Amino acid sequence: MPVMNQRPTEALSYNPNDQVYWDAEALKTEFDRVYDICHGCRLCHNLCPSFPDLFKALDNDPDVDGDVLNLKTEQHRAIVDHCYQCKLCYVKCPYTPGDGHDFALDFPRLMLRAKAQRVKKEGMSLGDKILSDPDKVGKMATILPMVSNWANENVVNRLVMQGALGIDKRKQLPTFTSETFRKWFNKRGAGENLGTNGKVVLFYTCFTNYNDPSVGRDVVEVLERNDVEVVCPEQNCCGMPAIDVGDIDFAVEQAASNIRSLYPYVEQGYDIVCANPTCTYMLKKEYTELMGTTKAAAVAEATYDVSEWLVALAKQKKLDRNFIGDEIGKIVYHVPCHLKAQNVGFKSRDLLRILPGAEVELVDRCCAHDGTWAMRKDYFEISMQWGGKAFEGMQNAKANIAVSDCPPAAIHIEQATGIKPQHPISVLNRWYAPLDSDGDKG
């Protein structure tokens, strides 16, 4: 077995703004360095398909003979394609940049770098171009949502989609709505006499906007009930779908647009709250790398998951606890990977525990969906296999209510188990006691 420190330990850039990021030889050198470290460690052997791909090639292929320098092109490609950016290796790996270790190992960004170079060289498929831009899809689909939803369930059309776009015909897809969250928010007007307990920008996410506005409405209602001012400036997709396919240029464009919209509010003292852990992760973690600007850093510093923000409010004894009398009973809570990778603890669990009679069971396993990875015909089957532990945990809990912060995870869990998880803020909102006729809490 190779000895990890026999090879160079200085990390090459994972920053797309550095010229070396796009150098093919530098990428190969970084592959060799990182794979050698992973080969000697193997803590991440059960996190995603990429690591077993690497270890099987090193252990079982006689041509490779246990040496990362001998890995074949098709083996490299499989390792890269089977990384679905769950970020869980950040949680488990002892050598990440955030830990201050000399190895400064960043496996997900290495996989992204490889995809980005491939896109520069080979271009993108039609399916990748469409899936990387959910705003464009959402704007078109919500014009005639009944037609869009019918098409997503029609057997013939799904065969066409699989052939033309690579979207697996079996994959349950999100539905579209006629009234987007944005339309609802603009129509309702601003709440009155709010801001006593803070002021926030809601990054409502493309999924909430086009597919499930009810989550956004619940978030707004909960925040305003707690005397928080909520604003929703113009915004676009966070950019994670573009990162998934390696389209760095488009991800940078989307990040830049969101920063232009969000930063003026940060300057005025607003926090940013997100209803989707992936979007929170992008704003907190990826924008600083993609942009490398002080404004991106300020946006990152001001960004919170909505449950994280509300738990902080509860610790200040400012959270409204006027709930209905019914005990909620057992809740099974699926922990999204992109929330776990933020290293903020289980804030949605803590929030749900406030509800009357709540008993919360964690399912701390990856469902293997990612943004669009599980939709692909090449990966749908393997995503269902790797999500098996999460599906099993959700079923075995036998809870009254199932919860997940992550919309794609909720869809994947529903398809695999028949159990439809709700967003934790939606559950919280439904357990609040009705306001009286004057809008008071009683």
For residues 363-369, give the mean pLDDT.
94
DSSP, res 8: -
Measured CA to CA, the distance from residue 146 to residue 148 in angstroms comes to 5
What is the pLDDT, as a whole number, of residue 12? 59
Does residue 437 surpass a pLDDT of 70? Answer: no
Q: What are phi and psi of 167, to 5 degrees?
A: -90, 120
Name the strand (E) or helix (H) holding 273: strand 271-274
Helix (H, G, I), strand (E, B) or coil at 198: coil
Q: Which residues contact 309 (CB under 8 A, 6 or more apart)?
A: 200, 271, 273
Is the distance from CB of 34 to CB of 2 less than 8 angstroms?
A: no
Lowest mean pLDDT among 2-11, 89-98, 195-204: 2-11
Arithmetic mean of pLDDT over the chain: 92
Does residue 423 surpass a pLDDT of 70? Answer: yes
Is the distance from CB of 245 to CB of 119 less than 8 angstroms?
A: yes
The C-alpha R_g of the chain, in whole angstroms, comes to 22
Is the distance from CB of 363 to CB of 390 less than 8 angstroms?
A: yes
Provide the percentage of residues in the chain whose pLDDT is more than 90. Answer: 85
* pLDDT confidence tier of residue 440, bands split at 50, 70 and 90: low
Q: Which residue has the tokens 């703004």?
A: 17
Q: Which CATH number fits domain 181-314: 1.10.150, 1.20.1050, 1.10.287, 1.10.10?
A: 1.20.1050
pTM for this entry: 0.92
Cα angle 248, 250, 255; round to 5: 90
Does residue 268 surpass a pLDDT of 90? Answer: yes
For residues 30-54, give the mean pLDDT.
92
What is the pLDDT, as a whole number, of residue 439? 59
Q: Which residue has the tokens 């270790």?
A: 101
Tokens linked to 345: 């603890």
Q: Which residues contact 300 (CB under 8 A, 6 or more apart)?
A: 283, 284, 285, 287, 288
Q: Which residues contact 124 (CB under 8 A, 6 or more apart)?
A: 132, 245, 246, 247
Name the strand (E) or helix (H) holding 202: strand 199-203
Lowest mean pLDDT among 79-83, 162-166, 249-253, 431-435: 431-435
Does residue 4 surpass a pLDDT of 50? Answer: no
What is the pLDDT, as a whole number, of residue 436? 64
* pLDDT confidence tier of residue 438, bands split at 50, 70 and 90: low
Q: What are phi and psi of 402, to 5 degrees?
A: -105, 140
Lowest mean pLDDT among 185-199, 340-354, 377-391: 185-199
For strand 303-305 and strand 229-231, is the pairing parallel, antiparallel, or unpaired?
Answer: unpaired
